[in-house]
Amino acid sequence: MSLSRRDFLKFGSASAAGVAVGARALDLAPVEAAATALKIKEAKAFHSVCPYCAVGCGQLIYAKDGKIVDIEGDPDTPHTLGRLCPKGAATIQLSNNPLRPTKALYRAAGSDTWEEKPLEWMYDEIAKRYHATREKHFIEREKGKDGREVTVNRLEAIGSLGSACIDNEECYLLTKFNRLLGLVYHEHQARV
């Protein structure tokens, strides 16, 4: 069967209307409410704030038997009224996603495998590399447009990409730290 563009659009909108009518006929709200109620039955609710960004959406964290069983937006939060963005709505995965790496992993240059390393080793390695790179590439003075030398105290050999998982205070400290070392390539990728 060959469909013209017009037929295709007609067919598409008829199917969409059918789905919409079907969805109206089948009211899933009570089922969804019952499923959530079941999940948080006998769970204790704790007020919290989403850790991801400065919007600071309020959350209700439900815990049962020492385990987080659900995280929802807190309807008493005045600026969000219980809404969370997709990232905030998935915060439960910070605590109970079995796929989340919980150990420090290192991949050496040129290697295709990740090795587990102790955190202390990582800290030492990062500090060593920061120091060596800064010693080698730090620019103290350079010529301005008018040809005169000016003090710039700049480090262009290291770039810093912040994490969407760090909070305001950690972002502030990271910024201070980077500026202290002279970094100019300083970015952040919140809510990717």
Nearest distance, CB of residue 47 and ligand SF4, angstroms: 14
Closest distance to ligand SF4 from the beta carbon of 36 (Å)? 18
Distance of closest approach, residue 62 Cβ to ligand SF4, in angstroms: 17
**Whose Cβ is closer to ligand SF4: residue 129's or residue 191's?**
191
Sign of torsion over alpha carbons 42, 47, 50, 51: negative
* 114 vs 172 by CB, closer to ligand SF4: 172
Whether 30 contacts 38, CB under 8 Å: no
* Inter-residue contact 46 to 61 (CB < 8 Å): yes
Alpha carbons 25 and 35: distance in angstroms, whole number: 20
Which CB atom, from 58 or from 182, has the smaller least distance to ligand SF4? Answer: 58
The residue (of 8 and 46) whose beta carbon lies closer to ligand SF4 is 46
Q: Which two tokens stand for residue 139?
A: 């620019």
Q: Which amino acid is at 138?
A: F
CB 184, CB 155: distance < 8 Å: yes
The vertex-70 CA angle with 31 and 42, nearest 5°, equals 80
Q: Which residue is nearest to ligand SF4 (CB)?
A: 88
State in angstroms the smallest separation of the CB of 39 from ligand SF4. Answer: 20
Quick one: which of 98, 53, 56 has its CA closest to 74? 56
Site residues for ligand SF4 per CB under 6 A: 50, 52-53, 55-57, 84-85, 87-88, 191
Query: Nearest distance from residue 85's CB to ligand SF4, in Å?
Result: 3
Nearer to ligand SF4, 50 or 155 (CB): 50
